[in-house]
Each structure stands twice: as structure tokens, then as C-alpha cells.
Structure 1
Amino acid sequence: MIPELETGGAERTTVDIAAALVAAGHRALVASAGGRLVTELEALGAKHITLPLATKSPWRIWRNAGTLARIVERERVDLLHARSRAPAWSTLIAARRTARPFVTTYHGIYKQTNALKGLYNSVMVRGDVVIANSRYTADLIAERHPFAADRLTVIHRGSDLGGLAPHAVSDARRNALRQAWGIAPETPVILNLARLTGWKGQTVLIDALARLASTNPDAAWTAILAGDDQGRRDYSQMLRARIAAAGLADRIRLPGHCADVAAALALADVSVVASTEPEAFGRAAVEAQAASVPIIATDLGGARETVLAPPEVTEEARTGWRVPAGDASALADALDEVLALDAGTRTDVTARALRHVSARFSREAMCGATLAIYDRLIDNCRAGSKHG
């Protein structure tokens, strides 16, 4: 259960787990309000059920719970897994009505400014197992909801590391995207893959790029800020105005949603995560390292697990660069340093980064750990039913 299947880490994980279930010989049903990933989901052999799970209306949440309970019985569903708060409330009710195991995954750092918000968020820790997508997220859950500590486990977000490798991307894919984005051959590419919203830090990156252009006007580069504004037109228009005011309209592109992340990374000379608030995990940072692209990320949240950098590790163990959030000057300096790396140093850093993410953040490891939880909960439920 997830609000929509448009784009994002939770949505991609939903598709990955559904594919793993089908590959293991199970049936996978996904309920959401729909979106661009539905076609891919169904092509993998999963079934999509359209429900208005994005709603926060108490009445709709209650109605969705009844619908889910009927689906569980009709389809003989063994286990329910929710990946967002509003659907989780419906799922919790349905799971209790049908006596099915209930799993939640805490994908985000939900704001918790008052007791009512805390109650709303608490549904994400009411599962029989609560999955945190990073150690950072797990620590936050334990601090906010101590009662859930014994049901909490960390499963890092996994990516298709093999599909991100440079050799996995054909010249045709690279060239098609280069042409679509209007990037001249041999021009260094600075890439930011993130939906267009304020906390993702696009304004900080634009300011950093303006500084970079000012301090090193002869350096050639093109910056791609690829992401969907998801209806936030005022924000995307503000970004374009900021780019124009900096005199960088010919060097910074906002092409919208990127469907071929691997090809985008294959074009990139450096990838930037500029978020101004903590990322619960930070898939973009992992995917850049898997693609052998130097990564610069803000020193917040999950990035401290995914991007190794001094002072936590030695210079010889560095897998990327971390800069203070919101600091355009520091980001500009890091960009200048990365773009000036000699070939040997660049290769050393990216090779370490690839080893780092391959050992910890593969899609196979994530799916295997998740399906093991499913098996355990289902076995326990069946054993309890027999004893009852």
C-alpha cells in the first residue's frame, strides 16, 4: 500500500519488492492511486489495484480500510505492507480485521511538531515489524517511539547496482539523452537528480553554480537539474528566474522528470545531492557511486552512511564529498575540487565508492532481507492459527 506510483524511493522500492515476490513464485498486489510506474509494475507480473490511498480524509481512510479488508479476504492475501502514513492507517485497520501480519517501512523523516502529528506519524511504528531504511531513520524512530524498539529493523534501500554501471548503458541511450538535454560533446556535466521542491536544495545548487562561474569563468560545464515539479509550478518558475538572474540560462537546464537515471549518470562528471533537510536514506547518492560518478552530498541524515568522507574516515577511505547544508560557497568549492580531479585520483575515489555501495546497498540484499521478514511473519501467523 502506497499513496501513488509516480516517482521516488518508496515507489521504486515498492516495484522492486513486487518483482522479487513474483520471481520467488508469489503473487504481488500493490494498491495505490496509480501513476507512471503502474505499467512497469504490471509488466513485471504484479497486480495493481487502484484505490484513493493518497487521501488524508479520515472518512476516506476508514472506507479504504473496509475495501482493503475485502480485498485481503477475496485475494487470500497473507501479509500487508504499508509505505506511507495515510495508507498505513487504512492498512492497520484492515490487518486487524483480517488477522493478517502488518509491516511498515519508514521511508521519510516525518515532521513531528506536536502531539497530534506524533499520533498521526505513530501508525508507521505499529507494524509487527517496522523497517527503517537507514540507521539514521532507525535512531529517529527509537527516539520518538521507544515502544517500537523491539520491532525495529534496518534494511537499507537497495538499488539496481548492475544496471547503473557505465558499461550497462549503451551509447545510443547516452546519445539520446545528451541530445534531448542539449549537451555539447565533451562538456563536463554536473547532475542533480531530485524532484523540484524547496528542501531538495536546488536554489543552493544554483547559487553554488553562480559562484563557480564567477570564480572560474573559463571552465566549461553544463548543469542538469532533472526532476518533476509535481505541480509546484511556482517553485520551478522561481528556479528559472534565479538561473536567468545569475546569467546562467545557457548553462543550467531544468528538463523535468528523468526516466533513464542510468543514462543520466553515464553522462555526468559529478552528481550533487543538495538537500537542506535530512534525507532518510538518499538513493541518489548511492546510485551515483554505483555508476562510478563522484558524489557531493550535504552532510545530513542518511548521507553520513552512504557517502564516506573525512573526518569520519581518512582521505584514503573517501567515497565522496559532504558539505554543510545550505552552504553555497562550500558546495562551489567542492564542485571546483571534483571537476579538477586528475584521472588517477578520480578512479581511486570512484572505485572505493563502488565497493562501498556494492557491499551494503544492493537491491538483492534489500529484497532478500524483506522477503525473509515476510516468510517469518507468515509462518508465525500460520503456526498461531493452527495452535488456536
Structure 2
Amino acid sequence: MAARGGRMTSRLQADGGRLAQMPVQTKNPLVMLGNAARLVALIRQEKVSIVHARSRAPAFSALWAAHATGTPFVATYHGVYKARSGLKRWYNAVMTRGDLVIANSDYTREHILAEHGIDPAKVVTIPRGVDFDRFNPSFVTANRIEDLRAAWGIAPGDTRTKILLAGRLTRIKGHLTVIEAARRLAAEGRRDFLILFAGDDQGRTGYSEELAQAIAAAGLQEAVRIVGHCDDMPAAYLLADFALLPTTVPESFGRAAVEPQAMGRPVIASNHGGVTETVLDGVTGWLVPPQDAEGWAAALGRAIDIGPGKRGEMGQAGQKRARQLYSAEAMCAATLAAYERVLEARRG
């Protein structure tokens, strides 16, 4: 692997991988050319069969190196990249200039075809995988859940329905819609829920302060809590009765909707983007129009009222489906099959 390094380096090496460290994240043309030269040498030295780029800036160096060595080039298109100008569209299109494009959802695939006008046969959908060794209810001890409950100040005898919105504190995650929906429930006299916002503000203190003010203004200090960054998301999902993904803009895939399902928890999610592929409305969760506070209030009330038995059935359905479609093993097998397709086409 060629990358600049990071927190996953030790895991890569522990799994037997090797890292060729270089500043692949750069957009400096001269550094990009240097990276391309390093990659050419690496491709020839290691007798690389396929070059696979997973981000736009590194894709330029990778594409140049692939062309220079006659090596097939594959790219994974991870998101719906915005293009407000022809130059930006050209920049984004680097991901489509190889032998094959891998889209992380059908939603992303449709965007690629509409945005870049390439041959549909060159674009395949391979959903992202979830680590089921980590997101496995059987592997989470009761102590981990109790430690999290204590850290978040939830009393052992608190019988309210626990609802988790996991994700960084940024406006596009839809926290304000949930606060307004919770206000509507409270106005009906409901006190049977506790909503937990788990995520880091990553320096966006203005937004986290805005959330705190909105919670206070709605009188929801006892019903909605900002609990901060969480290092143990599997335990967090088991602590919760169901999860939320109220994004205001479409997610290209929405792993935050798949992970709670892997842990046996239903999800209420915004009805747009790749999430419409990962959440089956009424079966593994519910889909609600984004930023529709009234709709979200109704969905929250419905999810609370059906009780733990029905939520458990939905959670089991979601867990089974997630394991079938979104395992890391399934993603790797589909990727290897895509590689073989490219190599066969080159040999042909």
C-alpha cells in the first residue's frame, strides 16, 4: 500500500501488509510527479498487477504511474463529489479514467453516470464492508455497556427508551431536526425517551454551543444529551434501543446506518442517498424525509411505542441483512472479482 501513513498503519503491518510511505495527499503538481515516479519504481519492483486508487489527489499520481507501466487502473468513487465548475468536474473525473470504477452504492453509481457520462459497463457497485469482528453483539461484555452508561451519566434504573445519534457534531448530521422533533414529543407530555448525541465537534465549538442552546431553549436538558466522542461504538449501540441518522444531505453509503443494524438495532434515517439501500423501511428501520421535524417526531414516537419486542425483531432482520450484504469479506470478494474482470479484459 502507498499512503502517507496514519492510525491504521500498525494494523496494516500486523496483518502482513507493507506500507510505502509518501505524501500522496498532496495537490502540489511537482510533488504529485514525484509520487508518480516513486509509484513507477514500486510497480516495477513489486511486479504489481493492478493499481487501485481510493481518493482523488492520489489518483493522479497513481494514474500516471499506471499509464507509464501499462498497468490496469481501478478507482473507488467513495462519495458524491460536488463540482461547481468545469475545472472541479475535471478534477473529480480522474476517478473515472481507468479500466474500472467501483462505486460504494447504487446511489453513487447513478451519480457517476450522470456526472461523467462514461460507459455504464465500466462502473460496478461494491458496498462498503463492516467489521463484524468488532460490530458483533456477542463480543461486547456487559461491563463495557455499564462503563459507558456511567460515563454518560445514565442511572442504572433509567427505564426511558435510549436513542443514539452517532457522528461528528456538524450541521449536516441533522441534530437540530432531532432537537425540534424531541421538543414536539415533549410538548405532548412525553418523558419516556433519552436522546444521546455521541460525537466530537472537531473544533466546531460554535455549532456544539448552538446545539446546547437549542436543547436548553426547548427545555430538553433531561431528554437530550451531548455526550462527546465515543471510542466504543459497539457498546454504544447496545446501550441504545435504536439509532438515528438524520442527515440533511445524502450520504453516499451511510455506514452509520449499517453499524447499528449489525449490532441488532433498528435505525431511523433520512430518506435520501445510499441509506435508502441499507435501511428497509418498516423492516429494519424507518425512512423519514430529511429536515422534516414533524415527520421525525412521528417516527420517534412510533419507534418508542412499538416496544422492545418489535424493535428486537426489526433489529434481528437488520443484523441478518447486514451480514449478508455488508461484511468486509463480501466487499473483499467482490473487489477481487472486479480485479479479475479487469485482468481478463486486458488479457483479451
CA contact (8 A) 1:125 1:148 kept: no
RMSD of aligned residue pairs (Cα, Å): 2.4
CA contact (8 A) 2:191 2:223 kept: no
Query: Cα gap change, 1:237/1:59 in structure 2, threshold over 3 Å: closer, same or farther?
Result: farther
Work out whether 1:294 is the aligned partner of 2:266: yes
Rounded Cα–Cα distance in structure 2 between residues aligned with 1:347 and 1:257: 27
Query: TM-score, normalized by length of structure 2?
Result: 0.89
Displacement of 1:326 after TM fit? 1.0
Give 1:167's match in structure 2, choosing from 138, 154, 164: 138
CA contact (8 A) 1:211 1:332 kept: yes
Structure 2: 5+ residue runs without aligned partners?
A: none
Aligned residue number for residue 275 of structure 1? 247
Rounded Cα–Cα distance in structure 1 between residues aligned with 2:148 and 2:345: 49
Aligned residue number for residue 357 of structure 1? 322
Work out whether 1:367 is the aligned partner of 2:332: yes
Work out whether 1:141 is the aligned partner of 2:112: yes
Rounded Cα–Cα distance in structure 2 between residues aligned with 1:45 and 1:267: 35
The residue correspondences of 1:1-388 to structure 2 (distance < 5 A) are 29-32=1-4, 34-161=5-132, 163-187=134-158, 188-221=161-194, 223-309=195-281, 318-378=283-343, 383=347
Displacement of 1:250 after TM fit? 4.6
CA contact (8 A) 2:265 2:312 kept: no
Displacement of 1:75 after TM fit? 4.1
Rounded Cα–Cα distance in structure 2 between residues aligned with 1:366 and 1:256: 31
CA contact (8 A) 1:126 1:148 kept: no
CA contact (8 A) 1:142 1:149 kept: yes
Query: Cα gap change, 1:255/1:69 in structure 2, threshold over 3 Å: closer, same or farther?
Result: farther
Displacement of 1:176 after TM fit? 2.3
Rounded Cα–Cα distance in structure 2 between residues aligned with 1:380 and 1:347: 47
Displacement of 1:249 after TM fit? 4.0
Rounded Cα–Cα distance in structure 1 between residues aligned with 2:84 and 2:286: 31
Structure 1: 5+ residue runs without aligned partners?
A: 1-28, 310-314
1:191 partner SS? strand
What does the per-residue CA deviation read over 1:249-270, in whole Å, with 9 as the maximum and x for residues that have no partner? 4543434433322111111111
What does the per-residue CA deviation read over 1:182-214, in whole Å, with 9 as the maximum and x for residues that have no partner? 222254321112223222222222322333333
Structure 1 moving runs of 4+ over 4 Å: 378-381
Query: Cα gap change, 1:115/1:212 in structure 2, threshold over 3 Å: closer, same or farther?
Result: same
Displacement of 1:220 after TM fit? 4.1
Rounded Cα–Cα distance in structure 2 between residues aligned with 1:81 and 1:370: 10
Query: TM-score, normalized by length of structure 1?
Result: 0.81
Rounded Cα–Cα distance in structure 2 between residues aligned with 1:237 and 1:343: 33
Q: Aligned letter for 1:205? A: V
Query: Cα gap change, 1:227/1:63 in structure 2, threshold over 3 Å: closer, same or farther?
Result: farther
Rounded Cα–Cα distance in structure 1 between residues aligned with 2:212 and 2:35: 40
Q: What percent identity do the matched residue pairs reach?
A: 45
Displacement of 1:171 after TM fit? 1.1
Q: Aligned letter for 2:102? A: I
Q: Which stretch has the larger CA shift, 47-56 or 190-199?
A: 47-56
Displacement of 1:347 after TM fit? 2.8
What does the per-residue CA deviation read over 1:43-101, in whole Å, with 9 as the maximum and x for residues that have no partner? 33323344333333334333333333333334443322111211212211122122222
